[in-house]
A and B are shown apart, each in its own frame.
Chain A
């Protein structure tokens, strides 16, 4: 079973507001509410693609119950720890006219040491039946910045591969522990070890350095619609054009889910990148997070430009 860890889940609220600008009063033409947080999003997309996962992490309050309810109805296995406080709400404002996305995030509930210990014992228990761990997103208050390190170490002791999709200090700390896959979200991370991630050459340098830490696959976003992949078979650049794109919200997690599913099915490196990118593109073609289904993803593979850089 694949386990996704979301330490700081969120209720994602997407508001479609034509011509949004700060300082005004607007009416949303559409509102989309869904459970979120990187790990949960990966679980939801994998479910849409037909793969079972178990989602774990911390939930709190009314928003936490909402998330658990939706996951339950979607028949995703859950093992969340319910804590005091309130799970955060993340607000995204999508302006279809100006093609601009604005985001607002809350910090999330405080997690006590006792609760962390309880989570770790749940994590160790579930690992007995786990083939891959996906760790995603920010850390709520109370969780030490190097917590992902510990989770990766525990998984590695049991020979279970890990996929981390995070940013900032928690990601940097985790990279030292050598996860199997790492996705570096450039939106939240302008530079790596002093190397600015704005040009392709710099990106290649950064992913090469991360790879040297023992990370087999490194994925870093490039421009708006592209990603650089450092794989055991070389460095690739994959991109798609912006035709029909409504919102990139959740696309990163669809990419992660696509890479996981294609790996499970034994596709080769190129096939995996193409499938993952097609899942990301499919996600971006509608306001709703996630993908419609597998057929819709496969149809988009011809739209992915894949180039081997070295």
Chain B
């Protein structure tokens, strides 16, 4: 099945100069974990997820920690998050975006999302945002589809 039959045709997107605090507000209000970043024509430039924001608010050495229990206290995290709240999302967004075209198969999209540890990704037509795919929706769809006949 083609992904355009499963995708969410929602064009909610942010511009690269949106501040992080505004991005957080949009993420919560829309109840999604990530949103595409587009230019004034709708061309996808990046993707910002809550994971990117959390990462930006954590200290630089976090990657070297093996265990999140070494994380500094809540107050420090909050302080950093508030400090970067005015930064544009272009600073933290993923620029190397995994995106799909409407003709891609649901199976290909599911595998690519899983392989890249992604929950959501944009669907584009000539580089312009036309929708978003969600891993959970795809799993549901694959679960509902009839199993292919077995030749064993």
Contacts and interface: CB of A to CB of B under 8 A. Distances in A.
B8 interface: yes
Contacts of A129: 42, 128
Q: How large is the interface on B (under 10, 10 to 19, 20 to 34, 35 or more residues)?
A: 10 to 19
Contacts, number: 43
B130 to A, nearest CB: 7
B40 interface: yes
Nearest to A72: B8
Nearest to A124: B40
B131 A77 contact: yes
Interface string B29-71: 1110000001011100000000000000000000000000000
A76 interface: yes
Interface stretch (A78-86, A189-197, A299-307): A78-86
Given A83-B29, A125-B41, A78 B15 contact: no
Interface in B116-143: 128, 130-131
Contacts of A80: 12
Interface residues of A, number: 20
B143 to A, nearest CB: 17
A245 interface: no
B94 interface: no
B9 interface: yes
Given A77-B130, A77-B131, A126 B11 contact: yes
Interface of A: 54, 65, 68, 72, 75-80, 82-84, 121-122, 124-126, 128-129
Interface of B: 5, 8-13, 15, 26, 29-31, 38, 40-42, 128, 130-131
30 contacts: A54-B9, A54-B11, A68-B10, A72-B8, A72-B9, A75-B5, A75-B9, A76-B9, A77-B9, A77-B10, A77-B11, A77-B131, A78-B11, A78-B12, A79-B10, A79-B12, A82-B26, A82-B29, A82-B30, A83-B29, A84-B29, A122-B11, A124-B40, A125-B13, A125-B40, A125-B41, A128-B40, A128-B42, A129-B42, A129-B128
Given A68-B10, A80-B12, A121-B15, 18 more contacts: A54-B11, A65-B31, A72-B10, A75-B5, A75-B9, A77-B11, A77-B130, A78-B10, A82-B26, A82-B29, A83-B29, A122-B11, A124-B40, A125-B41, A126-B11, A126-B42, A128-B41, A128-B42
